[in-house]
Every structure is written in C-alpha cells, then in structure tokens.
Structure 1
C-alpha cells in the first residue's frame, strides 16, 4: 500500500513507519515536492500518484464540500488523526503510536471501497500512562 502523510504531520514519523511496514510506501510533501500545496489541489495530485491512504490531522476536511469532492474523486482511504497534545518527544511518540496502530489496522482490514477513518489518539498523558509508579527501593 502507498500512504501519503500530509504536511501537518512531522516527517520524523516516516522512518519508524518505513522500518515497521517494509512492504508499504510512505510518501510526504518533501519526497513528493508538494510543500505548501493547498488541500484540494493536493488531494487531486495524490490521486494521480496511486496513493491508497491519505493521512492528515486536518479532520475538518470532511466538512468542506470542495475537499469532500476531491477526497471522493481520489478513490483512496482518508485518515483524520487527532492532533496529539503537548510537545516535544511526548507529542511525537503519541503521534507515532497512533500512526503505527492505524497503519497496522488499515493494512490488515481496509475495505475495498474508499473509507474515512477517524482514529482515537493513542497513548495517554503521562499521569494516565502507568497504573502504578513506585520507587524500586520501596518494593
């Protein structure tokens, strides 16, 4: 499968995706020379590049009639991720985890007809991540 990651996603997530999903292609605005391309022309352009899945955090695309028409015309799956909160490595890790789960699911379960997916954010805030945190010395 060919996945296109929208410009709103960090290119830093490409290498982990490529490392885990070796049989898939992962494209982005840098590799495809599409930096700064507006949504409707972008969606039309990626349709010409045999992209199977378009991934973005711009979930509003499904509410804009011109963008919906471009998505439908492109005949690929559309994934609208939730924007991860926070910053730095935590944000990158949550985005990466959501992408890994989403790509794995779509790779194994994608319907033949183009489908819109809105995955829930993966991971938790640090205070929700662990069921227990205790010093080793207290064990």
Structure 2
C-alpha cells in the first residue's frame, strides 16, 4: 500500500513509518515537491501516482463538498489524524502524530476496503473500536 502524508504532517516521520510498516511505501507532499498544490489537484496527482491513502491533520477536507467529492473521485482513502493540543510542538507534536498514525494505519492495512473510506482517529486509542471512526467518503 502506498501512503501520502499531506503537507501538514511532518516528513520527518517517514523513516519511522517505513521502519514500522516495511511492506508499505510512504511519501510526503514535501518530498514530492507538491507543496502548495490545491487539494483537488493534489488528490488527482496522488491517484495518478498510484497512492492508496492520504494522511492528513486537515479535517476541513471532509467538510468542504468539492474537496470531499474530489477525494472520492480520486479513489483515495483518507486517514484523518487529530491535531495535537495547542502548545504541543516539535518532537512532542511528532510523537503524538506518529502514535496516532501507527494506530490508524494498522487498521487501514487490516481493513483494506475497496471503496474510498475515511479513517478518523480522535485520540491515541487504548481500544480502537471505541475511538476510531470508519465510514465511506
């Protein structure tokens, strides 16, 4: 499976994700030089580059109809990670995001749905069945 980290997710997490999920590929918007690309164009480019999942802290994508429709049209799954609390920065910010990603991506890989699906993680779960939402986009 091929994952794309949106520009709001640090590309410093790539080595850790690649180590944790060895059979997957991880790239970031920054590493592909796609920074500043508007979301609908980004989704189309990601689909054309054979990405399966977009990982983002930007939940606005899900509330804006044309962005949600563009995501659906691209056929991408969307892993929505909860932004850490205000004031959390640097390594602590990345550690919280990484913990959520590991929890969420484990479920994405296990589920592997065919229709575009939203995986929304509300917090680092102790019991993912209570804190992780899965729904069709």
TM-score by length of 1: 0.83
RMSD (Å) for aligned C-alpha atoms: 1.3
Give the secondary structure class of the aligned counterpart of 2:78: strand
Which structure dedicates a bigger proportion of its chain to helix?
Answer: 1
Unmatched runs of 5 consecutive residues or more in structure 2: 126-137
Which structure dedicates a bigger proportion of its chain to strand?
Answer: 2
Q: Is the 8 A contact 1:97 1:122 kept in 2?
A: yes
| Distance (Å, rounded) in 1 between the aligned partners of 2:93 and 2:124 | 10
Is 2:67 the counterpart of 1:58?
no
Deviations 1:79-123 (A, max 9, x none): 111101211222111111001111111111222221011112227
Q: Is the 8 A contact 2:55 2:81 kept in 1?
A: yes
Q: 1:47-126 alignment to 2 at 5 Å?
A: 47-85=47-85, 86-122=88-124
Runs of 4+ in 1 over 3 A off after TM superposition: none
- The offset of 1:45, in angstroms, is 1.0
| Distance (Å, rounded) in 2 between the aligned partners of 1:11 and 1:121 | 21
| Distance (Å, rounded) in 2 between the aligned partners of 1:40 and 1:84 | 25
Q: Is the 8 A contact 1:47 1:76 kept in 2?
A: yes
Residue 133 of structure 1 corresponds to: none
Q: Is the 8 A contact 2:47 2:75 kept in 1?
A: yes
| Distance (Å, rounded) in 2 between the aligned partners of 1:98 and 1:119 | 7
| Distance (Å, rounded) in 2 between the aligned partners of 1:122 and 1:26 | 21
Unmatched runs of 5 consecutive residues or more in structure 1: 124-139
Find the structure with the greater CA-based Rg.
1
Q: Is the 8 A contact 1:5 1:29 kept in 2?
A: yes
Give the secondary structure class of the aligned counterpart of 1:106: helix
| Alignment: residue pair count | 123
Deviations 1:44-101 (A, max 9, x none): 1111111111111110111111101110111121111110121122211111100111
